[in-house]
Amino acid sequence: MRANLALAQSRAGSAKTWAVVKANAYGHGLHYAVQGFAASDGLALIEPEGAVRLRDMGWRKPVLLLEGCFDHTDAALLCEYQLDTVVHCNEQIRLLETVKAGGSHKASINVHLKMNSGMNRLGFKPDAFRAAWARLAALDIVGTITAVTHFANADDEHNARMSLTEQVRRFASATVGLAGPRSVSNSAAGLLHPELAFDWVRPGIMLYGGTPGPRTASEFGLLPAMTLRSRLIATQEIGAGDAVGYGSQFVADRAMRIGVVACGYADGYPRHAGIGTPVLVDGVRTRLLGRVSMDLMTVDLTPVPGAAIGSEVTLWGSGLPIDEVAHAAGTIGYELMCALAPRVAVRPAPDQATTA
């Protein structure tokens, strides 16, 4: 995690870095994020309760709520815990208008005003952005106002439906003459378009050793922060015509040996991972066979004749990029990281932030 952050910072030049730690640091744990991203300029996440946890764990640098406040209770936390907040709609401006300075509220609130430059999820349209800015600037409780947007296709800059160039143009046009920092760069932009670093960058998936685009993490020099490992708990000898697992989806075309792995969708491994999804057994690449069940999966032991009960199985991470597994399962590495279940034992390892 430290190495990936250092790489993100090296690509960002003089820009400051928000390390994105939403969804429990993409499944890695906020307690590890505080350690792994100690050199960042701030931590950014969605969950107000997570922001409070970061303060309780001793994090004193900035904390940013990426989706802002959802109600008056959240708004009250901004001053109490000195949190930055995104503002993406008029309702959130009205919430800030109810926050009073003075008393225990000694700190101003730094606001990150979000523009909808083409993603069409959150934010003010470009023609409404200045009016929102003016309302915020008129509030005594508001400190700095940072202009932010989020790219839909930083990993596909010439996308015909919404190009990166068009989003940058809209953002630049709508913020001309407005004072304050700028922040537009996510992991994809940080990896592929360092010229867009501006004042703040917001790396997420790259900090954990995943990538948002077609190139692999190792091509960028990123390291896997999570490795999911288990062991073989049984082996079976099957013959030609024998089927394996629920639905009998895999049918052997020859006599072969298979291994049963103690991991399934209740642990966070994707049920929809199909036959052929890569797996390592004792460090040797092989493949998933049959349907993933709640607690078990089966793998082909043909390439690993010496495998036996107790053999180590790597499902993603060190030696097996999570993005490769995700692609084979028809999903993305983000989902695999975030879906890891609470029953999976987590331990620190010398060469990576967490090993499950």
Give residue 77's pLDDT: 95
> Annotated active-site positions, please?
22, 246
φ, ψ at 190 (rounded to 5°): -65, -35
Taking residues 326-339, what's their average pLDDT? 95
227-355 sits in which CATH class?
Answer: mainly beta
pLDDT tens per residue across span 112-122: 999 999 999 99
Sign of CA dihedral 287, 291, 295, 298: negative
Give residue 324's pLDDT: 94
Tell me if domain 2-220 and domain 227-355 are identical in fold. no
Integer CA distances (angstroms), 258 to 247, 276, 292, 296, 326, in order: 17, 13, 14, 13, 23
pLDDT beyond 60 at 351: no
Give residue 352's pLDDT: 45
Give residue 101's pLDDT: 59
CA dist 234 and 308 (Å) reads 8
Q: Name the percent of the chain lying above pLDDT 70.
A: 96
pLDDT tens per residue across span 282-311: 999 999 999 999 999 999 999 999 999 999
Taking residues 168-186, what's their average pLDDT? 97
CATH superfamily of 2-220: Alanine racemase (3.20.20.10)
Residue spans per domain, the chain: 2-220, 227-355
Give residue 217's pLDDT: 92
Residue 151 forms beta bridges with which residues?
none
Residues whose CB is less than 8 angstroms from the CB of residue 200 and which lie 6 or more positions away in sequence, other chains included: 15, 16, 17, 18, 41, 146, 181, 182, 183, 185
The structure's pTM equals: 0.92
Give residue 349's pLDDT: 63
pLDDT tens per residue across span 66-75: 999 999 999 9
Give residue 103's pLDDT: 46
pLDDT beyond 90 at 277: yes
Give residue 216's pLDDT: 86
Give residue 350's pLDDT: 61
